[in-house]
Structure 1
Amino acid sequence: MKSWKTTLGGILVAAGQLLAPSLPPNYTWVSATLTGLGGLILGVSARDNKVSTAEARSK
């Protein structure tokens, strides 16, 4: 686990998708919120190592 931020984002996305079928219809917003927040966290923190693509390939 290199980045706790990307891991947290992935867990939230997965939890939102797993909860969707088991929630009552008036609580589906919980699933959508978890999935959206997880995706946002995941997308924002995916390149948190502050290196360019060329530098990342050379490692």
Structure 2
Amino acid sequence: MHGKSDVDVPWTQSESYVRAMKAKGVEIQKVWLPGDHYSIIDVASDDWLTQIETITDWL
């Protein structure tokens, strides 16, 4: 999961990581969120809810 508006860590780094893992045959899912670096820890953010739902579904 990565926020597309993240200015601290570019989302393209996560995209590169996903490609590298897929090239090694690792099953990986990418989830792009519209928020920034901190939106996934803000419980009032839609990104936080999306993160929790995604992780819960994965479990």
TM-score (norm 2): 0.28
Higher relative contact order (CA 8 A, sep 6+): 1
Q: Indicate the structure with greater helix content.
A: 1
Q: Which has the higher strand share?
A: 2
